[in-house]
Amino acid sequence: MLAHRYWGARLPYISDYPAPFDPIKWSSPDGPHHFVPEEYPGYANTKYIDPCLKVTFADGTRDVILTYEDFSVTASPQPVLALHFKDSYYPLQLTLHYRIHEEYDLIERWVTLENLGDDPILVERAFSAKWTLPPGDNYSLTHLYGRHIDEFHIQREPLTPGLKVIESRRIIPSHRASPWFTVDRNASEEQGEVWFGTLAWSGNFKITAEVTEFASTRISIGVNDWDFAWKLMPHQILATPASISGYTKDGFGAASRIFHDYVRDEVIPHGKTPHKILYNSWEATLFDVDETSQSKLAVIAAQMGVELFVMDDGWFHNRNLDNAGLGDWFPDRVKFPNGLGGLIRSVNELGMDFGLWVEPEMVNPDSDLYRAHPDWVLHFPTRARTESRNQLILNMARMDVQNHIIESLDKLLSENNITFIKWDMNRGVSEPGWADAPADQREIWVRYVQGVYHVWGRLRQRHPNVIWQSCASGGGRADFGILEFADQIWTSDNTEATARLNIQEGYSQFLPANTMEAWVTDWDKDIVPLEFRFHVSMCGSLGVGGNLLEWGQSDRESAAKCISLYKEIRHIIQFGDQFRLISSQKNAYSAVQYVSKDKREGVLFAFRTHIPEPFNIPMVHLRGLDPEGMYSIEGVEQPRSGMAWMEAGLKVELKIYKAQCCKLRKFRNVPLRY
């Protein structure tokens, strides 16, 4: 049995690592697997713990006994250790892969299964990893939950004996849960042990947190086995998505920053490129787009300093409402009689890039595509096709569907000067049928996501400079898997600034600010001042989405000022370290800070929402500064040492619905004297 030995701070010598637990005490009701944390348990014999692997062999045997064979190490670009196992009787090979990301102190794990025989093997569960915590109890699990327009709530709860399941069954990770977890023992934002991990997967996932009856805590993570099966054909290999995990002694904030660095450096395609400030037309014009309406918005956006103009839904064939057009990715002849060229040229002449919205995985029954290929959607032939937002889901597992999307979007991108695409996905799955599937229909849960990756990957290869944004009615598809293709996520359809503060805080738990697209819109504009709305959006990748035609001169001027300020500080926000100083999910007064990697510059944002007087403004303790550096903070008179700003803190007085953005600058070093 391959036993897990240790997960914690790095130790200097191999001999320092604890020996595997000796299962001498096992008794007949609780076999050795209940004492020894097996690294990747397959369901077999008396293992009642939650397994990582469950298979049915051709003769009906549902018991997998893995025997260690050998290992191999490949050195580049990052070292990968592969441990090879075989079933003791059947021709099934399992390999556990471990890639070390030393610079980030992260381990990436995935699994491959190979059928070495001549009969198919049915795989009913193949998780990516089991992560085992040090022995003992008193752990807490933190995860994210939510719903459409209310994503990324942080939920922390004690882990008690039994199984806690976090999952998605919607074919995307969904607004309901995120493929991310932390486990801690009395950790805070700033300190304490945190074990954290994620799954790089944009489909159904499952996280199980199991505390056994002998106080062993284990987190399993992988593709959801609910309604899943994979017929592993002779000589076929099945690879799971990767799970990445880490450990820190420095609290939840440090865990987030490790993932932020990793995503920016290793995952997203253009991690070093600052994101342009965009304008998106959705909330201003909805489906009512044409050259005139968009050009009017573009002129004002350009005057305010916007760099990228994005036309959202409504531009393509017959798209006047949400009940027609999806699937027909060519410009509507009434709205754009001469194609998109005229609008794009005028946007470019205004000095802005041009971006476009698409929803390639979907089709409206009222579309040329559906009339030509009604069999291309997910469905069961004997059942009605449930529509949601009047649309059906194309079966992305089919090669003909994949090729069709690649060719239609390639044409669009080749014929037009488009530098940004917002890729939307606006419904959860129903009737996940695939009547002519080559093997088991239940492979759809994996093959659909692989199809999305394939299409997106091909388009990225053909158009490498295009920046893509992942959207699924807001933040329904926000994960490390999609970020290999998309540089940004549309965080939420909720653009009300005070709600956004909370959504953004949840999002930041595992994803960095440069991936977090945030628009300033007109939601609650009579309550929440424009500057407040800007400051909230400036905490991520700034965008504007309000109806600019209705913004008065003074609003446009304030917007221009905020945009110009953001241009000065965006490198700190998008590429620096983020510190959540005071939580907005827990307080009506919140603060967040960004510090450049060299600690010479920073930005502090403070927000006060609805809490009335009398209210005692809390001290804000800055973080991440050089203790021996002298820092000035804009708007605060006297420079002080980094140590003082962090230990003694400062007060940023704010009235209700006011926000402040202060720049920090280190101007010299001071040796600390007490």
**Rounded Cα–Cα distance for residues 607 and 610 (Å):** 10
Interaction of residue 428 with ligand DGJ, rule CB under 6 A: no
Residues 423, 445, 490, 507: which binds ligand DGJ (CB under 6 A)? 490
| Shortest distance in whole angstroms from residue 287 CB to ligand DGJ | 8
**Rounded Cα–Cα distance for residues 357 and 316 (Å):** 10
Among residues 87, 332, 424, 522, the one annotated as catalytic is 424
Interaction of residue 312 with ligand DGJ, rule CB under 6 A: yes
Residue 566 to residues 327, 486, 661: CA-CA distances in angstroms?
37, 23, 10
- Taking the least distance from each CB to ligand DGJ, the nearer of 312 and 626 is 312
Structure tokens at 364: 């409206």
Interaction of residue 493 with ligand DGJ, rule CB under 6 A: yes
Residues 39, 225, 313, 522: which binds ligand DGJ (CB under 6 A)? 313
Interaction of residue 225 with ligand DGJ, rule CB under 6 A: no
Interaction of residue 522 with ligand DGJ, rule CB under 6 A: no
| Shortest distance in whole angstroms from residue 263 CB to ligand DGJ | 21
Helix (H) or strand (E) holding 150: strand 150-158
Helix (H) or strand (E) holding 585: none
Active site residue 312: no
Site string for ligand DGJ, 353-382 (x = CB under 6 A): ----x-------------------------
Interaction of residue 471 with ligand DGJ, rule CB under 6 A: yes
Interface with ligand DGJ by CB under 6 A: which range of 28-36, 161-169, 468-476, 508-516? Answer: 468-476
Interaction of residue 473 with ligand DGJ, rule CB under 6 A: yes
Q: Which residue is nearest to ligand DGJ (CB)?
A: 313
| Shortest distance in whole angstroms from residue 478 CB to ligand DGJ | 12
| Shortest distance in whole angstroms from residue 394 CB to ligand DGJ | 16
Residue 157 to residues 174, 244, 512, 515: CA-CA distances in angstroms?
21, 22, 24, 28
Q: How do 180-184 and 467-470 pair as beta strands?
A: unpaired
Torsion of CA 48, 50, 52, 56, to 10 degrees: 50
CB atoms inside a 10 Å sphere around CB 451: 21
Among residues 487, 493, 522, 577, the one annotated as catalytic is 493
Interface with ligand DGJ by CB under 6 A: which range of 160-168, 193-201, 471-479, 608-616? Answer: 471-479
Spacing of C-alpha 433 from chain mean position: 27
Active site residue 290: no
Q: Is 553 helix (H, G, I), strand (E, B) or coil?
A: helix
Structure tokens at 120: 């198919």
Q: Residue 446: which of 238, 268, 176 has the closest Cα?
A: 238
**Rounded Cα–Cα distance for residues 625 and 237 (Å):** 49
Number of residues that bind ligand DGJ (CB under 6 A): 11
| Shortest distance in whole angstroms from residue 471 CB to ligand DGJ | 5
Torsion of CA 28, 30, 35, 40, to 10 degrees: 110
Q: Residue 144: which of 507, 620, 501 has the closest Cα?
A: 507
Interaction of residue 332 with ligand DGJ, rule CB under 6 A: no
Interaction of residue 491 with ligand DGJ, rule CB under 6 A: no
| Beta carbons of 40 and 53 less than 8 angstroms apart | yes
- Taking the least distance from each CB to ligand DGJ, the nearer of 397 and 478 is 478
| Shortest distance in whole angstroms from residue 303 CB to ligand DGJ | 24
- Taking the least distance from each CB to ligand DGJ, the nearer of 474 and 624 is 474
Q: How do 467-470 and 488-490 pair as beta strands?
A: parallel
**Rounded Cα–Cα distance for residues 76 and 439 (Å):** 35
| Beta carbons of 37 and 132 less than 8 angstroms apart | yes
Interface with ligand DGJ by CB under 6 A: which range of 92-100, 115-123, 466-474, 560-568? Answer: 466-474
| Beta carbons of 283 and 357 less than 8 angstroms apart | no
- Taking the least distance from each CB to ligand DGJ, the nearer of 297 and 471 is 471
Interaction of residue 501 with ligand DGJ, rule CB under 6 A: no
Site string for ligand DGJ, 265-284 (x = CB under 6 A): -----------------x--
Interaction of residue 328 with ligand DGJ, rule CB under 6 A: no
End-to-end Cα separation, the chain, in angstroms: 57
Residue ranges binding ligand DGJ (CB under 6 A): 282, 312-313, 357, 424, 426, 471, 473-474, 490, 493
Residues annotated as catalytic (active site), given as ranges = 424, 493
